[in-house]
Amino acid sequence: MNLQSTVAPPAPGAAHSPQPARRDAFGREASGPLAGIVIADFSRVLAGPYCTMLLADMGATVIKVESPSGDETRQWKPPVFEDQSTYYLSINRNKRSIALDFGDPGDVETAGNIAAGADVVIENFKPGGLDRFGLDYGSIAERNPAVIYASITGFGSAGGATLPGYDLLVQAMSGLMSLTGDPGFPAYRSGVAVFDVITGLHAAIGVLSALHERSQSGRGQRIEVNLMSSALSGMVNQTAGFLLSGNVPTRMGNEHPSIYPYEPLPTADGEIILAIGNDRQFRTLCDVLGAPDLATDPRFGTPPDRSHHRKELRPLLVDLMAAKPASEWFDVFTEARLPCAPINDVRGGIEFAERLGLEPVVDVGAGDDTIPGVRNPITFSATPASYDLVPPGIDADRGDILGWLQSQQQR
């Protein structure tokens, strides 16, 4: 076990400086806040691997346990980078891989030893799927009472236990697809597996919370998250709007149900996003557009007024914004501190982040063995994230992992 001692936080206002890197059981230098924590990762595809990658960036040692055929995303192509799936590469850095066949009793024993030696176990098998291998929470906790055991499912372990947990299914069942797209047209899924990502984040929050509790009590516990619950929570105002008012929201294209203007609007040569959330911003917008009288028009005086009269307001704004191209409006609106945005493609999004100094792209790996990756979005002043291990090949670290197990058993 790698239970860390509780360290008193610095006094308020105390200066922070990067902490020296420590080496884990595999020799990896890790300066992040989770250095010393070992995670047995029995997850695959997206929600679980995204969670464990974020934790690995923060210094945790992540042992990725795969079947001999590997994580399914290894074969999700195109696009590719040197014939490797970019999907797999996007969520599996800073990990070590071992391939184990659960039809082989020896490999099952190895899997159990890995789980028993870890601080955290993360799995996304169907509910009960690991029971017959002795890899369920009860079996692992009997050997390792301090273990944090996180289970990720599609629809929970009760009535939805037999349902397959795919993000697209949850987007449909949760109601998100009923909100996505233009009125009168078919429903659309999000362009990203948004509920897999949200569930991965919820799993990470749960793991970190349980580790904090364990640092005080010494107790482990089981965490359960599922895509459906994460979806209903993640739709925030839309689900709350139904629960509190009985309103069933519908597709509105790019419009917002409660505020206006909050959508793309045409200009002389293309569209630009405006996100006007309060009266002050609306008055500023009217001044910038040369139409201050709109701000005093009783139809548009408050957010509910503007929302109710959007059909009258929109053509007035469209006429005024036809005077300039989108790039000029962006400069004008930004100078006036109005929320606005160009509509970029992914290349444009990365380039825009670079211009802002966000340094969105990092080198993953070391020396000549590096690939580009997206920076971990969390910045730590004293314990920065690291990106020293490229996503592993199948079974690439068997020797090191078995050596670590042997050292654990000799303690």
Residue % of the chain over a pLDDT of 90: 90
DSSP assignments along 235-264, one per residue: THHHHHHHHHH-------TT--SS-SSEEE
- CB 168, CB 189: distance < 8 Å: yes
Q: Average pLDDT for residues 122-129, to the nearest whole number?
A: 96
- CB 375, CB 361: distance < 8 Å: yes
User: Which is the catalytic residue, given 196, 279, 305, 345?
Assistant: 196
What phi and psi values does residue 286 have, to the nearest 5 degrees? -65, -40
Q: Average pLDDT for residues 384-390, to the nearest whole number?
A: 94
- CB 223, CB 123: distance < 8 Å: no
- Residue 9: the pLDDT is 45
What does the alpha-carbon distance between residue 22 and residue 5 come to, in Å, rounded to a whole number?
A: 15
The string of pLDDT tens digits covering residues 9-40 is: 444 444 455 666 677 778 778 789 999 999 99
Question: pTM for this structure?
Answer: 0.91
DSSP class of residue 324 equals S
DSSP assignments along 104-169, one per residue: SHHHHHHHHHHHHT-SEEEE-SSTTTTGGGT-SHHHHHHH-TT-EEEEEESSTTTTTTTS---HHH
What does the alpha-carbon distance between residue 166 and residue 106 come to, in Å, rounded to a whole number?
A: 31
> Catalytic: 196?
yes
Match domain 22-235+380-409 to its CATH number in 3.40.50.10680, 1.10.760.10, 1.10.3720.10, 3.40.50.10540: 3.40.50.10540
- CB 328, CB 270: distance < 8 Å: no
- Residue 411: the pLDDT is 73
Q: Look at residue 116 and tell me whether its pLDDT is greater than 90.
A: yes
The string of pLDDT tens digits covering residues 132-170 is: 999 999 999 999 999 999 999 999 999 999 999 999 999
Looking at the DSSP bridge assignments, the partners of residue 20 are none
Question: Comparing 22-235+380-409 with 262-355, is the CATH topology the same?
Answer: no
What does the alpha-carbon distance between residue 199 and residue 212 come to, in Å, rounded to a whole number?
A: 20
Judged by average pLDDT, the poorest of 11-15, 261-265, 287-291, 351-355 is 11-15
- Residue 196: the pLDDT is 98
The string of pLDDT tens digits covering residues 160-212 is: 999 999 999 999 999 999 999 999 899 999 999 999 999 999 999 999 999 99
CATH 3.30.1540.10 fits 262-355, yes or no: yes
What does the alpha-carbon distance between residue 386 and residue 21 come to, in Å, rounded to a whole number?
A: 10
Tokens of 2: 């790698």
Domain boundaries, the chain: 22-235+380-409, 262-355
